A and B are shown apart, each in its own frame.
Chain A
Amino acid sequence: MTSLPTSTAKKLGLVIDLDTCVGCQACATSCKEWNAQGDSGPLTDTDPQGANVSGPWFNRIHGYEVKEQGQENSRIVNFPRSCLHCEEPACVTVCPTGASYKRAEDGIVLINPDTCIGCKLCSWACPYGAREYDYTQGVMKKCTLCVDRIYNTNLEPEDQVPACVKACPTGARHFGDLGDENSEVSQLVKERGGYDLLPEIGYKPTNKYLPPRARRESPLAHVEPLPKSSGSPMDRLFSWADKLLSASSSSQRVDAPDHSGKLEG
């Protein structure tokens, strides 16, 4: 049924910390690795060993350069993007076959690969680019929130989290029930001002993003100009040595790669 449940008992989802994400791609590769053999597998790639490898990924990491107002320098924000398991996702309601559905018990949005006809309309309805077409199998694929891990009692309790959360080395990804006000993830969202992506579309995404923290202004972040020479004999000796050394090194091409293995002093 592609009609949405009126409410879900839980709202399982992710909270992604844009402040601590280092863009290492561990979540994306771990996701692909787990899901290639899991519920949605196989996640086949076309031309897997060739130059134009292409295939579905449930999680993709953008890198954005942000130049904040009043800041001299820009900063890099790594931005993981995956299914937000929205409360009112049109990707589910547009599905003509019922292959797309939202679970009433935990709010996870899934696709049944056995009934999907590959019409791609759900990917058009998703503003977040979360649904990708599997050209090999002719069906749509998407993040399952690792539904085959989080309830899997064959795994150790600490492994019963989505593969991306388990893999993140900086703890930038948090998994939990966002419908429960007292859950750790809900508290985190409250403390850090977690926000929705494109709330104006009206799908009410469950996943939240924690904004990068305000940058601290450190005096050490600025390069101090060199002190002027006082004209003492010692200073003149150093300036003579500096000139001598500069002249000998300028004979070398500046852009030539240094293979000496020595560190610059």
Chain B
Amino acid sequence: MNPAYSVILFTTASGAGYGLLGLLGFAGASHGRASSLGFAFTSIAIALALITLGLLSSTFHLGRPERAWRALSQWRSSWLSREGVLAIVTYPVALAFLAAWSGLVDAPALIAPLGWLVAILCWFTVFCTAMIYASLKTIPAWNSRLTVAGYLVFSGATGATWLTVIAYCFGRFVPFQSILACATILAALLVKFIYWLRLDKRVKTFTMANATGLGEGVRQWEVPHTSENFIMKEMGYAVARNHARRLRRYCLFLLDIAFFLMAFAGDHPWLSFIALPVLMLAAWMERWLFFAQAEHVVGLFYGKPAV
């Protein structure tokens, strides 16, 4: 699949934003009012900025962005629509939580329920994003629970690292934050390792022989076009596959570095300043590979022997 930069930026930035916002909701629910107005406002603002950056970026993928509001209508059947609805609903709930959590509105009884609600909304939004891809039977690499696990752990890992950095800036660092980041980065490493292992070991069950119904010994003889068409551009992305293995190693290596930096961040919290860009770069590479390495079954009609 063609790795569109608008979609990669969307899923990595909003993933980090929802991860951070969810953890802030969780923090509010378990600890009550925020320790300072500045910390509450800055952290929520950064989370919402990341989410908004992602959502705006995703509209660049659309042919008619001015009609984007229509995407909120089909939540009964479409994961993309569900994601849009939850993303919109999260904004007012996050602002209400901010008002209560920061102490701007004196309602301590509302902090915990609003905190939980924000956390659940964030978790479900990322879940819906992942389900857009995981529900496609046409792309066997994505049609797996590991896709959902991957999106959730990367959202958690990047969110937890952002939280550590912001908390350190405001003198609110506690080792639990870096331990959480460490654990989620380790989970991300494991999930991606299994995802790639499965991708390599998977027997390609869809074959050109079955898809065309013409049996073994079929091969493409004449292409159905005189110049490149949309299907080839969108589904036939092959450039990345040449470098995929090396990029995977780099991605796992960056995750390792981020893991060790955060492991020592308990004693030296400033290390999270280095870990954050390293982790965000790893997330970007992971998402790029996620698209570039996924094969679509339509390739079978264009001469690919098996997918």
A52 within 8 A of B: yes
Q: A60-B224, A69-B217, A119-B80 known; 6 other A-B pairs, CB under 8 Å?
A: A4-B77, A64-B212, A79-B214, A95-B78, A97-B81, A209-B213
A114 to chain B, nearest CB (A): 9
Contacting pair B76 A3 (CB below 8 A) = yes
- Report the Cα distance A126→B297, complex, angstroms: 9
A100 to chain B, nearest CB (A): 9
B282 to chain A, nearest CB (A): 25
Number of residues on chain B facing chain A (CB within 8 A): 58
Which of chain A's residues has its CB closest to B1's CB? A124
Beta-carbon contacts of A112-140 to B below 8 Å, as 1s and 0s? 00011111110111111100111101111
Chain B contacts for A57, CB-based, 8 A: 225, 229
Contacting pair B222 A139 (CB below 8 A) = no
A187 within 8 A of B: no
A96 within 8 A of B: yes
Q: From the candidates B65, B137, B300, name the one contacting A90 in the complex (CB within 8 A).
A: B137
List CB contacts (< 8 Å) of B74-110 with chain A. 74, 76-81, 84
22 of the cross-chain contacts (CB-CB < 8 Å) are: A2-B74, A60-B225, A62-B301, A64-B212, A66-B217, A68-B215, A68-B217, A77-B212, A77-B214, A79-B214, A96-B70, A118-B63, A119-B61, A120-B234, A124-B136, A124-B138, A124-B234, A132-B229, A133-B230, A135-B63, A138-B63, A195-B213
B210 within 8 A of A: yes
Q: A54-B227, A66-B217, A132-B229 are in contact. Are A98 and B73 (CB under 8 A)?
A: yes
Q: From the candidates A4, A52, A126, A197, name the one contacting B138 in the complex (CB within 8 A).
A: A126
List CB contacts (< 8 Å) of B131-184 with chain A. 132, 135-139
Of all A-B residue pairs in the complex, the 10 with the closest CB atoms, nearest first, are A118-B63, A138-B63, A63-B222, A60-B224, A96-B81, A96-B71, A67-B217, A129-B298, A97-B70, A65-B221
Chain A contacts for B250, CB-based, 8 A: none
B190 within 8 A of A: no
Q: A53-B226, A64-B214, A202-B137 are in contact. Are A81 and B301 (CB under 8 A)?
A: yes
B85 to chain A, nearest CB (A): 9
Contacting pair A124 B224 (CB below 8 A) = no
Q: A67-B217, A124-B138 are in contact. Are A129 and B301 (CB under 8 A)?
A: yes
Contacting pair A128 B71 (CB below 8 A) = no
B44 within 8 A of A: no
Would you call the interface of chain B mostly helix, strand, loop, or mixed? loop
Task: Please list the residues of chain B having a beta carbon within 8 angstroms of any beta carbon in chain A.
Answer: 1, 61-65, 67-68, 70-74, 76-81, 84, 132, 135-139, 205-206, 210-231, 234-235, 296-298, 300-302
Would you call the interface of chain A mostly helix, strand, loop, or mixed? loop
Beta-carbon contacts of A29-69 to B below 8 Å, as 1s and 0s? 00000000000000000000001111011001111111111
A52 to chain B, nearest CB (A): 5
A94 within 8 A of B: yes
Beta-carbon contacts of A210-254 to B below 8 Å, as 1s and 0s? 011000000000000000000000000000000000000000000
Interface centre among A133, A137, A209 (most CB of B within 10 A): A133
